[in-house]
């Protein structure tokens, strides 16, 4: 995990630190920023509830921090809000303490979901879950040099996500029950990583940005699209969120759009689905 600044091959390249590098977005960012001089740290390398480790990070001289480390267990945060806060609030403050330009990621779950037209940056947040509250507070501690990217319903070819769960269940079952009363934008991490690079390379202003896939659907629609694209014969039984009885109440509607000039535009979620399946060799 040497920074390698003395390495002539790395001279002159942008030095980028990625936190939470073991996660799905962390993986995608490592690919998209591969031409930069990247130091990718997993939780084992830097537990962000602690200040930056003095041996690797504090002495590092970075041009950019891509902060993806987060408590993402939405239901688990209801049982342990302090634990979620330590990662999502203190962790973001620790990333900001490096005092270099920072991209930090937040969520559509900062909204209560009562709107029926897309949420833009100027809409007031009102999180209904512990996870959403910690992410909103995390936005506030990101500092003046931060791009705060709100995104939604992430999926990729690695890690735990809805797409990979559906592929597994689709192989095992003839029918899966999926909620049909939450509407959002399933966003492919590869497309979000590209949009992040556009934001940074384009030197767009710091502050809040809504970056999610074009189009919108319910989880049940998304599941059907997954089975359609992969040719799995699995049927989708549409159910309500109440039938699922999960601890955290998800917003019924959390479609994100940017109201800002020159906002990077992501491809449609269905294009993201196809790109991810291609990644998985499906
Ligand atoms: N997933 C979504 O649908 C979604 C939607 C909207 C916004 N976001 C936001 O997008 C960002 C990236 O999410 P993701 O989907 O890539 O999440 P992910 O796959 O769960 O990755 C998060 C990473 O953070 C690591 N982590 C957890 N606690 C940590 C700690 N204390 N110190 C250092 N690392 C820690 C995790 O490590 P372990 O694997 O060891 O736990 C994991 O590798 C997060 O800010 C998330 O809140 C996600």
Residues annotated as catalytic are 131
Residue nearest to atom 4 of ligand 1 (CA): 154
How high is the pLDDT of residue 4? 44
- Given pLDDT bands bounded at 50, 70 and 90, which one contains residue 1? very low
Please tell me if the CB atom of residue 74 comes closer than 6 angstroms to any atom of ligand 1: no
Left if phi > 0, otherwise alpha if psi is -120 to 50, otherwise beta: which for 251? beta
194-198 average pLDDT score: 98
User: For ligand 1, is residue 113 a contact (CB within 6 Å)?
Assistant: no
Q: What are 21-50's pLDDT values in tens digits?
A: 999 999 999 999 999 999 999 999 999 999
Among protein residues, the one whose CA lies closest to atom 30 of ligand 1: 47
Pocket perturbation via mutation, ligand 1, pick of 20, 49, 269 by most ligand atoms within 8 A of CB: 20
Q: In angstroms, rounded to a whole number, what is the distance separating the alpha carbons of residues 97 and 169?
A: 42
Residue whose CA is closest, atom 19 of ligand 1?
A: 23
CATH 3.90.1150.10 given to domain 8-157+185-214+255-267: no
pLDDT at 10: 58
223-280 pLDDT, tens digit per residue, is: 999 999 999 999 999 999 999 889 999 999 999 999 999 999 999 999 999 999 999 9
131 lines ligand 1 (CB under 6 A): no
CA 180 to ligand 1 center in whole angstroms: 25
Mean pLDDT for the stretch of residues 56-73: 90
pTM as predicted: 0.96
- Let me know: does 72 contact 20? Beta carbons within 8 Å: no
């Amino acid at each position: 995990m040497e920074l390698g600044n003395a390495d002539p091959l790395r001279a002159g390249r942008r030095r980028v630190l990625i936190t939470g590098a073991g996660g799905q977005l962390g993986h995608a960012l490592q690919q998209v920023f591969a031409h930069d001089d990247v130091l990718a740290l997993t939780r084992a390398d830097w537990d962000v509830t602690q200040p930056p480790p003095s041996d690797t990070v504090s002495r590092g001289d970075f041009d950019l921090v891509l902060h993806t480390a987060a408590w993402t267990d939405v239901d688990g945060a209801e049982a342990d809000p302090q634990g979620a806060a330590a990662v999502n609030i203190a962790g973001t403050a620790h990333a900001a303490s490096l005092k270099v330009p920072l991209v930090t990621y937040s969520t559509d779950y900062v909204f209560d979901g009562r709107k029926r037209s897309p949420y833009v940056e100027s809409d007031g947040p009102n999180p209904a879950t512990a996870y959403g509250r910690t992410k909103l507070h995390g936005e506030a501690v990101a500092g003046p040099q931060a791009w705060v990217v709100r995104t939604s319903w992430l999926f990729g070819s690695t890690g735990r996500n809805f797409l990979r769960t559906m592929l597994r269940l689709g192989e095992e079952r003839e029918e899966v029950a999926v909620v049909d009363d939450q509407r959002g934008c399933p966003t492919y991490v590869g497309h979000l990583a590209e949009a992040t690079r556009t934001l940074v390379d384009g030197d767009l202003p710091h502050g809040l940005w809504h970056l999610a896939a074009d189009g919108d659907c319910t989880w049940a629609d998304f599941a059907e699209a997954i089975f359609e694209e992969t040719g799995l014969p699995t049927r989708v039984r549409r159910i309500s969120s109440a039938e699922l009885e999960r601890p955290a109440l998800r917003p019924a509607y959390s479609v994100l759009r940017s109201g800002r000039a020159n906002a990077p535009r992501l491809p449609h979620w269905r294009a993201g689905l196809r790109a991810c399946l291609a990644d998985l060799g499906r």
